[in-house]
């Protein structure tokens, strides 16, 4: 309880929602690295905070904790908090879009060069629905059409279930500067 209280004190719910969003299907370790450097809260505490606030579901929370433990990060996290204040908004937004499958790794590198260097992505438990355009073009037409139809249905469902995808204001200059 003391750790959860400390996490809520360091990262109040409005801050957590601003940093992570209201609901997430996927949360990456890369994002947790950025957030730890920015706020000084451990990766494990960020995961718990996201779960406590209902940002991520229990299944995703558990799978990330299992991955964290398998890498030995529950004892020693790979990123240290130095107390440095650096601009992180672009990097965080890029990693979030990548984590959510909105952009590819190639696009992420174009938007924010070096944002993924020296970081291995966690292994996925289930195959990705998303494929690269090159992989999709190698499939037989019937399979390609089926994949596109399935992807369109998933995208429609995600869009309809997440008003934050369409209820937003355009970015202003303040969005690119950390508080």
Co-location of 107 and 175 in the same domain: no
What is the C-alpha to C-alpha distance for residues 113 and 24, in angstroms, rounded to an integer? Answer: 24
Q: How far apart are CA 48 and CA 16, in angstroms?
A: 11
| 100 and 131 share one domain | no
Same domain assignment for residues 146 and 167:
yes
How far is residue 123's CA from residue 18's CA, in Å, rounded to a whole number? 27
In tens digits, what is the pLDDT along the chain, a chain of 179 residues? 887 887 887 888 999 999 999 999 888 888 888 888 888 888 899 999 999 999 999 999 999 999 989 998 888 888 777 766 556 778 888 888 888 888 888 888 888 888 776 455 444 444 445 556 777 777 788 887 887 788 788 877 877 887 776 665 655 556 566 65
Give the H/E segment covering residue 159: helix 141-161
Instruction: Note whether 53 and 140 are same-domain residues.
Output: no
Answer yes or no: do 83 and 106 share one domain. Answer: yes
Verify that 12 and 87 share a domain, yes or no.
yes
Instruction: Report the domain count for the chain.
Output: 2
- Tracing tokens 């558990």 back to the chain, one arrives at 62
Contact 135, 147 (CB under 8 A): no
Same domain, 54 and 113: yes
What rounded mean pLDDT belongs to the chain? 79
Q: Residues of 44-65 as b/e, b for ≥16 C-beta within 10 angstroms? A: bbbbbbbbebebbeeebbebbb
Indicate if 48 and 116 belong to the same structural domain: yes
How do residues 9-28 score in pLDDT, each as one tens digit? 788 899 999 999 999 988 88
pLDDT at 150: 81
Diameter of the chain measured on Cα atoms: 57
- Asked whether residue 110 falls in the same domain as residue 27, the answer is yes
Is the same domain home to 102 and 164? no
Task: Supply the range of the domain harboring residue 146.
Answer: 127-179
Rounded CA-CA distance 31/47 in Å is: 11
Residues 157 and 102 in one domain: no
Based on the domain organization, do 72 and 120 belong to the same domain?
yes
């Amino acid at each position: 309880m003391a750790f959860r209280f400390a996490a809520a004190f360091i990262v109040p719910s409005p801050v957590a929602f601003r940093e992570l969003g209201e609901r997430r299907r996927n949360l990456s370790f890369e994002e947790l690295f950025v957030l730890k450097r920015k706020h000084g809260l451990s990766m494990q505490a960020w995961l718990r905070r996201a779960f406590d606030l209902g940002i991520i579901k229990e299944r995703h929370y558990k799978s990330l904790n299992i991955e964290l433990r398998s890498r030995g990060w529950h004892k020693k996290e790979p990123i240290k908090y130095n107390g440095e204040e650096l601009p992180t908004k672009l990097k965080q937004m890029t990693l979030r879009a990548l984590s959510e499958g909105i952009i590819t790794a190639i696009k992420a590198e174009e938007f924010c060069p070096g944002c993924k260097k020296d970081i291995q992505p966690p292994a996925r438990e289930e195959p990705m629905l998303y494929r690269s355009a090159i992989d999709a073009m190698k499939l037989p037409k019937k399979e390609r059409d089926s994949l596109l139809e399935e992807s369109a249905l998933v995208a429609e469902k995600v869009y309809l279930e997440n008003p934050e995808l369409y209820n937003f204001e355009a970015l202003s200059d303040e969005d690119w500067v950390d508080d």
